[in-house]
A and B are shown apart, each in its own frame.
Chain A
Amino acid sequence: MFSLERWQEIFETISKNKLRTFLTGVSVASGIFILVVLLGIGEGMQNGVEIQFQRDAENKVSVTGGVTSLGYGGLNPGRDIQLVLDDFYTAVQTSDFDIEFQSPLYRVWSGLASNGSESGSYRLEGVHADYQFLEKASIINGRFINPLDQDLGTKNVVIGNRVKKDLFKEKDPIGEFITVSGVKFKVVGVYTDPGGERSEARIFMPLKTAQRIFGNGEDIRTISFTLPKVSDYDLALYQSQAFLKKIERQLRSKYNISPVDTSALYLSNNIESTKEIYTILSTMKLFFWGVGIATLFAGIIGVSNIMLIIVKERTKEIGIRKALGAVPMSIVGMVLHESIFVTALSGMFGLILGLLLLESVGPFIDTEFIVNPEVNFNVAVSTVIILIIAGAIAGFFPAWRGARIKPIDALRDE
């Protein structure tokens, strides 16, 4: 069926009917092009949402002290709830669950850091070694705060990539000293954080060090944990809620907080919001698939239409060919071969064009909502194949009808 002779005949027909070929090609190529770009943008938006929401470990739970809004046990409302390091250890010791990562946090909202003439104002955070994983920070260079730093209260700091760029430009900061609020610290690591610029404008140091230099005794701001991941979402949610509930109950009783006061303790459970992210993502996925399938469908209808017109237009030619000895299957083969060839070629062309656009423009898109717009290559190739098959099926019926038409009737067609 796909002999060299047939190819020659097809090439001849195609090259002699440039407009027809061009129109078919353009409609197929533009359909695929639109589809690819659309899927790319969809993917980019998904990436954007994921990054927006998943700045920290997706199974992180934390408790932060707030201000009471209700009087309780003879105490007035408007009381600051100041957590202390003991609260952290109590939570760890009384936990009913194994804990994966754990860290207290002491925060100074703004501290002036400088290296020679370069300076900037950054958040200072005193933490334990696990905090790296709770924050999803990854080390670019050097290391994170380690248990030894914590035990000894070393003046070692880990700086965010933003801080590194501000204070060190292109220089390697590891082993260099910076001055923070008048105290000298040694830089031992540089980290990057999926939370972006703001999350990278921080300086981590051992909790003990932060408490000693910037703090007030044993005060801490937040305690954070993760439980080991379980594959079942509902189980993970149940465990995290039970774990958090227990800490909350202990703190409420220790600090004399009304059981209905919602502002005295800030409880956060990322697993709960993960559910929302997954809902948003799956809704978006559904939307883009819907639009994609609609586009594909429109493309298929376009191709079928063109095929129908082509066969209609070629009725007389088909009659002549049959009179000269073309068997019905050779007519079907001719029409299909041509249509498959043209759809495949222009489909690939549209695909490559779309991929090139995403590849070249994608990295320059500077918005938080579209990140790294890419198309799964397999998905893209599958769409082209689907379109070709659909085009072939859609082309088959007109081709078959053309082949069945009696030669005298076809010859009479003007």
Chain B
Amino acid sequence: MIEIKDLHKSYKVGKNSLHVLKGINFSVKEGELVSIMGSSGSGKSTLLNILGMLDEADQGSYNLDGVPIKNLNEKLAAQYRNKFLGFIFQSFNLINYKTALDNVALPLYYQGLPRGERMDRAMSYLEKVGLADWATHLPNELSGGQKQRVAIARALASHPKVLLADELTGALDTKTSYEIMDLVQQINDEGKTILVVTHEEDIAQMTKRIVNLKDGVIIDDKKVEPIRASAHV
């Protein structure tokens, strides 16, 4: 599903250049649930942003579902994001003047789906994350955990190939974090490929594979037996 080879990325900071990713080789197969770990500043978010086509690598190749991701213009990048990817952010990134339902339906608007179909599909995903009763509420009327569920529903609604989550439990308490991870595991059980960036060991242990980043290179990549989050809820 994801194939990256010898990926490099530097940031310009003033006159200096900060080499953040120093040759990443990494692949993810369909149906995997992978966590990317590492200390702060190790380049986890940078990697995820490149995978999410929100940022571009300086060097190296990236294949997503057999499509080479190279020299994309803004328009094509947006269309690929819409078609292939679902994002879940630490800070939820819901549009604050739209209801939960409208937020979930937004990526479908950019897919060009007719309104009726958008609303039906958005509603079914809100049901899936257990928030059908909250459909008409605005984000600021929801708890952190509920907001993240809406964000997950939104990421799923466009039927992406891969879900990319950056610190999706970073703003939540432990109990809520486990509830969210339970949902993530269920989605993975249904076959969705998911990448999770985290620096929390317990969250990583709930995935099937842990990739460790340090100073811009992968120092460790191992399969683990996931702990079921439902056992802790």
Contacts and interface: CB of A to CB of B under 8 A. Distances in A.
Contact of B75 (A319, A328, A408): A328
Contacts of A250: none
A8 B115 contact: yes
A82 interface: no
B115 A5 contact: yes
B107 A408 contact: no
A76 B148 CA distance: 112
B162 to A, nearest CB: 14
Contacts of B97: 13, 16-17
A9 B114 CA distance: 12
B78 A317 contact: no
A316 B94 CA distance: 10
B78 A326 contact: yes
Contacts of B115: 5, 8
A324 B106 contact: yes
B125 interface: no
B67 interface: no
A298 interface: no
Interface residues of B, number: 29
A323 interface: yes
Interface in A231-248: none
B55 A325 contact: no
B42 interface: no
A322 B82 CA distance: 9
B134 interface: no
B75 A325 contact: no
Interface in B65-79: 74-75, 78-79
A327 interface: yes
B95 interface: yes
Given A17-B97, A411-B89, A411-B93, A323 B111 contact: no
A2 to B, nearest CB: 15
A249 interface: no
A122 B213 CA distance: 108
A9 B118 CA distance: 13
Interface residues of A, number: 26
Contact of A9 (B74, B109, B112): B109
Interface string A320-349: 111111111110000000000000000000
B78 A328 contact: yes
Contact of B95 (A320, A328, A329, A411): A320
Interface in B201-227: none
A356 B98 CA distance: 38
B146 interface: no
A275 interface: no
A326 B110 contact: yes
A408 B54 contact: yes
A325 B74 contact: no
A44 interface: no
A328 B74 contact: yes
Contacts of A328: 74-75, 78
Contacts of A17: 97
A325 B54 contact: no
B167 interface: no
Given A8-B115, A406-B54, A408-B55, A325 B98 contact: no
Interface string A6-49: 00110011001100000000000000000000000000000000
B73 to A, nearest CB: 9
Residue of A319, A330, A407 most packed against chain B (CB within 10 A): A407
B148 to A, nearest CB: 15
A324 B107 contact: yes
Interface in B44-88: 49, 52, 54-55, 74-75, 78-79, 81-83, 87
Contacts of B94: 320
22 contacts: A5-B112, A317-B95, A320-B93, A320-B94, A321-B106, A322-B81, A323-B87, A324-B87, A324-B154, A325-B158, A326-B78, A327-B75, A327-B78, A327-B79, A328-B74, A328-B75, A328-B78, A330-B110, A404-B74, A406-B54, A408-B49, A411-B93
Interface of A: 5, 8-9, 12-13, 16-17, 316-317, 319-330, 404, 406-408, 411
